[in-house]
Amino acid sequence: MHEFLIFTISGLATAGIYAITASGLTLTYTTTGIFNWSHGAIGMIAAFAYWQMRVGWGWPTVASILICLLVLAPLLGIAMEAGVMRRLEGTSEASKLVVTLALALSFLGIAQWVWNPTTYRAIPPLFSGHTLVLGPVRISYNDLTVLIVALVVAIGLRLLLYRTRLGVTMRATVDDRTLTALNGSSSVANARAAWVIGCMLAALAGILVAPTLTLSATALTLLIVSAYAASVIGRLRSIPMTFVGAIILGLAVSYSVAYLPQNPYVQGFGGSVPAVVLFIALLALPQSRLRGHRLLRSRELALRPSWRGTAIFGVCVIAGTVMLAMVVSSSDLFSLNRVWGLAIIGLSLIPLVGFAGRLSLCQMTFAGIGAAVVGHVGAHGNPLSLLAAAGVCAVVGLVVALPALRLSGIYFALSTAAFAVAMDAWVFPLPPFDLFGHQFAPFGSGSLVFAPFRVGGAVLSGKEAQFIAGSVAFVLLCLIVVAVRRSGFGQRLMALKDSPAACATLGMNARASTLAVFALSAALAGIGGGLYGESLGSAAPDVFQFFTGLSILLVMVVVGISSLGAGVAAGLFLGGPTLANFFPSLSQLSSVLVGAAGTGVGTTPNGTIPSGLRPVWSSVVKRRWLLGAFVVIVVGVWALRLSGVIDNWTMTWIDLAAVFGMPGIAYTVDYRAGTAQPAFGLPDRRVVVVDEASARGQAGPPVDTPAGDSANPVVVPAGSPGRGT
């Protein structure tokens, strides 16, 4: 009984922290409609800032806390609202999710960059050493403070939402944004207030939770999972219910620590309790009704890839790989080898996210399962183990997706995140156990060793051979993805993304189609994971952690989630010898960069390839001489490199210059000939649109004269279809 009381009190203290985080999350979600994945990361940043002031610089506790809460958090909230969130109005739920994920990754990258994660940091608890003795139980002042603060937050939020003008308009915004605006309330001001309060609550939770954890950026960022669990129990609307959810969760976590048997198989389960509660809470949500929605004019491009184009792409990929394999050093090759596994994991997102519009945050988990299968089944180097990996992942994918299918987009994504976090915390680090009479451990004792594949008697142990084989595997899987897109199934997936309601009225079983594409995507990720493991030689479970998967998703979305080339980009960016080689001190730069690019997704939902690279390169491809020149440059530079005249970096820079220079040349030629399309959707500055009436009367000034335009203006009457040249 005594023990029970102690764990109840510590559970309630944990619940207080969850409640503060989750109520901030619910508040921003209800007022702005944005599911903020970076909420935990904000708390994390605040905790580190607090550590810096309190421990790093030795400032007084109260001053440090006040600066964090009343200066840093509100400033962050204002900056986020103005810089990122405001631009998300009217974008799809998926874009919002990706943007806030990107923000979370940026914060994580910045924190790990500024505060080296290998250094041990701890924050002393508040009122260290003081305890309150209540009968048989002793409560630390720290826990007591948390409980009191949580209570104050609960009462404060209630008063704010029901007794103040700001609170009432904030609640009104939830009901009807337009109507609130018509009543003279500024939705921008409401949103700003929501973000400021949200950031303050996140910071408060971060500061309060920090003494109980060693300061770890990832662990603090993952507080978001617990917050979501509590918020989902509150149906993302009700703050009192969110508090109830937090109490359930806090007690569950505390009792799992206390009463789960002390054995290595269940221990990890304790860490995954928030994820499991989140999953269960999601499944208990009411069924989202199938209803029609107004057709938003989608800005999305959905090009149907041709076989010819895919073949050219595949040949270029393999040829480029062979050329690269012949010139790079063996140490670079070791790192480059990882590219294809990661590229295939990226590719696995294309059918699911690009075609079907469903988000999965657990692709890296499927990759981990695939790697485990290949490591065990392919212990003697049998490449067919990749097929086994695909099969196992497809089945696991079905099992994960089946209960979550009834959830609509954003909740579905959350459930995949819960799965990923639970696998990371519990299943992947499991010690060896007996299964069907075989001793089995997902990642052996610590890390799993991969045997090189044997193909027809030859062992693919050379790094060059592995690198080239990886590119061939990638291209083969690209062909499968293109075949899916071109098939009736692919068309049905696209239709399902556009209008689930209409699909149902045509007799389409949306669940079956979604299950099928989820299984396909999981299978592809499993193959990618297997190849990734092969390229690493040995892999520990943390290689396949949740956040790595998020980075892949972000790169894919930034570059173009429906483009095969995005897979290559994801592989190169996350696996290739990149910026870290250049600037070893900036090893976190890539995740910060991905994050920063991701926050721009709201304005360019299609990605770089479809809306940037493809349009500008199409004018190069039209001119055979220019295309020929490009090939000559690339091959010529490669020959120079082979003969040792130039080094790898020179080759890379010249090739990059060619990739970006050719479209420039093509554009200049077009421009001289007067047939250039406006670049990047900007109005052509040489064209001055003149109101037709004033042009006839020769009187009115040009309607639209770009200032400082030095080129000869070409006067075109308004309404003229083109340049007329």
Partner 1 sequence: MGLEVTDVSVHFGGLAALSDVSLEAPDGSITGLIGPNGAGKTTLFNVIMGMQRPVGGTVRLGGRDLRGLSPHRRARLGLGRTFQRLELFGTLTVRENLAVAASMGQRRFSRADTVHPQALAESLLDHLGLASVAEVRADALPTGTGRLVELGRAMAVKPTVLLLDEPASGQDSEETTRFASVLRGLADDGLAVLLVEHDMELVMGVCRQVVVLDYGRVLFTGDPAAVQQDPDVQQAYLGSLSGAPDG
- Which residues in this chain contact partner 1 in the complex, by CB under 8 A? 289-298, 300-302, 488, 491-492, 494-495, 497-499, 501-510
Closest to partner 1 by CB, 251 vs 494, is 494
In angstroms, what is the minimal distance from the CB of 334 to partner 1? 41
In angstroms, what is the minimal distance from the CB of 488 to partner 1? 5
Closest to partner 1 by CB, 300 vs 542, is 300
Distance CA 365, CA 393 (A): 9
Give the tokens for residue 203: 């910071």
442, amino acid identity = P
Map residue 327 onto helix, strand or coil. helix
Distance CA 234, CA 222 (A): 19
Closest to partner 1 by CB, 296 vs 657, is 296
Helix then strand count (H, E) for the chain reads 34, 10
Closest to partner 1 by CB, 289 vs 672, is 289
Distance CA 42, CA 139 (A): 28
In angstroms, what is the minimal distance from the CB of 319 to partner 1? 32
> How big is the chain by its Cα radius of gyration, in Å?
28
Give the tokens for residue 207: 């500061």
The dihedral of CA 394, 399, 402, 403: what is its sign? negative
* Residue 717, beta-bridge partner list: 690
DSSP labels for 219-280? HHHTHHHHHHHHHHHTTTT-HHHHHHHHHHHHHHHHHHHHHS-SSHHHHHHHHTHHHHHHHH
In angstroms, what is the minimal distance from the CB of 608 to partner 1? 19
Contacts of 565 (CB under 8 A, 6+ apart): 313, 559, 609, 613
Closest to partner 1 by CB, 294 vs 380, is 294
In angstroms, what is the minimal distance from the CB of 486 to partner 1? 11
- Tell me the backbone φ, ψ of residue 88, rounded to 5 degrees: -90, -5
In angstroms, what is the minimal distance from the CB of 286 to partner 1? 12
In angstroms, what is the minimal distance from the CB of 350 to partner 1? 15
User: What is the DSSP code (8-state) at residue 334?
Assistant: H
Closest to partner 1 by CB, 318 vs 484, is 484
Closest to partner 1 by CB, 15 vs 601, is 601
Instruction: Centre a 10 Å sphere on the Cβ of residue 709 and count the other Cβ atoms it contains.
Output: 11
In angstroms, what is the minimal distance from the CB of 509 to partner 1? 5
In angstroms, what is the minimal distance from the CB of 35 to partner 1? 24
Instruction: Centre a 10 Å sphere on the Cβ of residue 626 and count the other Cβ atoms it contains.
Output: 16
> Where in 472-584 does DSSP place strands (E)?
538-539
DSSP labels for 614-663? HHHHHHHHH-HHHHHHHHHHHHHHHHHHHTTSS-HHHHHHHHHHHHHHHH
Measured CA to CA in angstroms, residue 621 lies from 167, 259, 273, 385, 559 at distances of 57, 67, 54, 40, 20
What angle is formed at CA 416 by the lines to CA 410 and CA 418, rounded to 5 degrees?
A: 105
In angstroms, what is the minimal distance from the CB of 289 to partner 1? 7
Closest to partner 1 by CB, 121 vs 486, is 486
Closest to partner 1 by CB, 235 vs 623, is 235
Closest to partner 1 by CB, 280 vs 510, is 510
In angstroms, what is the minimal distance from the CB of 513 to partner 1? 10
Map residue 138 onto helix, strand or coil. strand
| CB-based burial label for 318 (10 Å; 0-12, 13-18, 19+) | middle
Closest to partner 1 by CB, 230 vs 356, is 356
Closest to partner 1 by CB, 32 vs 513, is 513
In angstroms, what is the minimal distance from the CB of 460 to partner 1? 41
